[in-house]
Amino acid sequence: MGEIGIPRREFLYDIRFWEVRRIIRGYRQRDRLKHQLIAECAYAAMYAMRDPKGKGVEDMFPMLFDDDDDDEPPISEEDVADMQAMMDAFNAEQKQ
């Protein structure tokens, strides 16, 4: 059975954190149009049933129209090393 996307091992262990964030951002942007169309349908239903009082789709669903280019500060290398040590300990515990 073929894998869709990135192999699990590569995603969890081989790719750097900033690369993972870019991949996840790409997946979210891929679904953005679908979510915006669903919001438009919900807005149309609300508009048909009552007066929107000058509000648009962006006012009802602001999170769908936010820009995802805001980069959060990356985690430090110490935190990455700590998390990898925790994962290694957990994996070793699970093998036993």
pLDDT in tens, 2-38: 456 778 888 777 888 888 888 888 877 778 788 888 8
Q: Is the pLDDT of residue 85 over 90?
A: yes
Residue 96 belongs to some domain of the structure: no
Residue 85 belongs to some domain of the structure: no
71's tokens = 């980069």
The pTM of this model reads 0.41
SS (H, E, C) 14-61: HCCHHHHHHHHHHHHHHHHHHHHHHHHHHHHHHHHHCCCCCCCHHHHC
CA-based nearest residue to 35, from 71, 62, 53, 69: 62
Look up the domain containing 43 and give its range: 8-68
Residue 90 belongs to some domain of the structure: no
User: Could you give the number of structural domains in the chain?
Assistant: 1
Residue 87 belongs to some domain of the structure: no
Residues 6+ apart with CB under 8 A from 68: 25, 28, 29
Residue 29 belongs to some domain of the structure: yes
Residue 67, pLDDT score: 65
Residue 2 belongs to some domain of the structure: no
Residue 78 belongs to some domain of the structure: no
Residue 69, pLDDT score: 59
Q: Which residue has the tokens 């942007």?
A: 29
Residue 63 belongs to some domain of the structure: yes
